Amino acid sequence: MTRTESPDIAHIARPYLYGGEEAAIASALSAGQYNHGALTEEFEQRIAAFLGVPDVVAVASGTAALHVALLAAGVGPGHEVLVPSFTFCATVQAIVATGARPRFIEVDPGTCCVEAAEVLGALTPDTRAVMPVLYGGRAVDLAPARPALDEQGVTVVEDAAQAFGSWQQERRVGATGEVTCFSFGPVKNLTCGLGGAIVPRTPMEADTYRQLRGLGIIESAARRAETTTYTVDGFGMRVQMSPLNAAVGLVQLDHFAEAETRRRALWRAYAAALDGVGGVVLVDADVEHTVPPMCAVRVLDGRRDEVFRALRKRGIGVGVHYPPNHTQPAFAQWHRPLPLTERLGREVMTLPFHQHLTEADARHAADELRQVLAAGAGR
């Protein structure tokens, strides 16, 4: 086996701690913060301030954020939700959890993101929501579809699980007026361990999210302090963000500038090292505006699986994001032919990408990829 420069390169993704996270958990525990509480509220306020929005609702995961946002938009049985097949299965499971049907749509092969024209072409009278996925952290602009969506009362729920910190023009993703869902899972740009958040469009929407995440109980700290009872005013799950996770997220947020710099530098190192290499194409991340959570390439000429195995043998942690969802057994009843996505499913490969890696590591991984491609070329 070829020796790698750093053992970190064997990992596709790996959480990064800045120091201080463990102490923050310990002090939350000694302050008796186990359930929803002050730290979670502080995390919400700090995230809102970072994004430049009035309010943010924290939940237990990115998947829970998507589920809650769809329920609050009134999505349920009989409805259809437009979603790219080329996403993490969580996006689709959130739709299925509401009782609605996913309608799988294509993405642009250059960016792996949905485009307005595709959304417009897939609208039906049953469509109640659209979920653009910000693949690789890249912002998606559905403005050209807006009039048609508004006319039909279709809610856009952005799956920005990978896009915390990214920009859409002069505003952060989350501050552009959409319902936006973030994930703070272990391998995202900012981690809480597990966690997620939803950016509401109105204070009323925020109330609905809070009720849905917390057993349907109308939340009011003042009220809870004054009375011995509580009011359950509708359906609700138990998907609040634990203060222990919020404590981790608060430390991570203090250091977020470091994540932005490192992740952009890594992505650019890959782009420079792969420039001019035949048989492989970078998925365009728009890195000027994106805080990338990963680096995806397309391996051409039907060689992805072979190249993938050869790189793994050389100790390079490559991955596949994602096997298309419309070909998954769980979602077979909603299958429709999606040739572009099926092709991406055979071509896309992700390279080692996390904050433990240096630019030299990225150049090393890119060089291994170049060697593997050259070795098998011309057969």
What residues make contact with ligand PLP under the rule CB under 6 A? 61-63, 87-88, 90-91, 133, 159, 161-162, 183, 185, 196
Identity of the residue, 62 or 236, whose beta carbon is nearer to ligand PLP in the bound complex: 62
Q: Do the Cβ atoms of 52 and 171 come closer than 8 Å?
A: yes
**Cα gap 78→120, rounded to integer Å:** 20
The token pair at 93 is 């499971």
Where would I find the H helices in 227-329?
243-254, 256-274, 304-313
Q: Do the Cβ atoms of 298 and 281 come closer than 8 Å?
A: yes
188 assigned to active site: yes
Identity of the residue, 48 or 190, whose beta carbon is nearer to ligand PLP in the bound complex: 190
Min. distance of Cβ 227 from ligand PLP in angstroms?
34
Alpha-carbon distances, residue 297 vs 259, 261, 351, 374 (angstroms): 21, 21, 8, 16
CA 239, 241, 245, 246: dihedral to nearest 10 degrees? 170
Report the first-to-last Cα separation within the chain, whole angstroms. Answer: 24
Min. distance of Cβ 135 from ligand PLP in angstroms?
7
Min. distance of Cβ 330 from ligand PLP in angstroms?
15
Q: Which residues contact 98 (CB under 8 A, 6 or more apart)?
A: 67, 70, 71, 75, 76, 77, 79, 81
Per annotation, catalytic residue among 188, 303, 304, 354? 188
Identity of the residue, 104 or 307, whose beta carbon is nearer to ligand PLP in the bound complex: 104
Min. distance of Cβ 323 from ligand PLP in angstroms?
13
Min. distance of Cβ 221 from ligand PLP in angstroms?
26
**Cα gap 29→82, rounded to integer Å:** 42
Looking up tokens 């301030």 gives: 49
Identity of the residue, 93 or 371, whose beta carbon is nearer to ligand PLP in the bound complex: 93
Burial of 153 (0-12, 13-18, 19+ CB in 10 A): exposed
Strand pairing class (80-84; 155-159): unpaired
**Cα gap 231→251, rounded to integer Å:** 34
Identity of the residue, 211 or 350, whose beta carbon is nearer to ligand PLP in the bound complex: 350
Identity of the residue, 61 or 341, whose beta carbon is nearer to ligand PLP in the bound complex: 61
Min. distance of Cβ 133 from ligand PLP in angstroms?
5
Q: Mutual orientation of helices 243-254 and 38-51 as an angle, nearest 10°?
A: 30
The token pair at 349 is 């490969």
User: Other C-beta atoms within 10 Å of 3: how many?
Assistant: 6
Min. distance of Cβ 62 from ligand PLP in angstroms?
2
Identity of the residue, 263 or 303, whose beta carbon is nearer to ligand PLP in the bound complex: 263
Phi, psi at residue 83, to the nearest 5°?
A: -150, 140
**What residues act catalytically?**
188
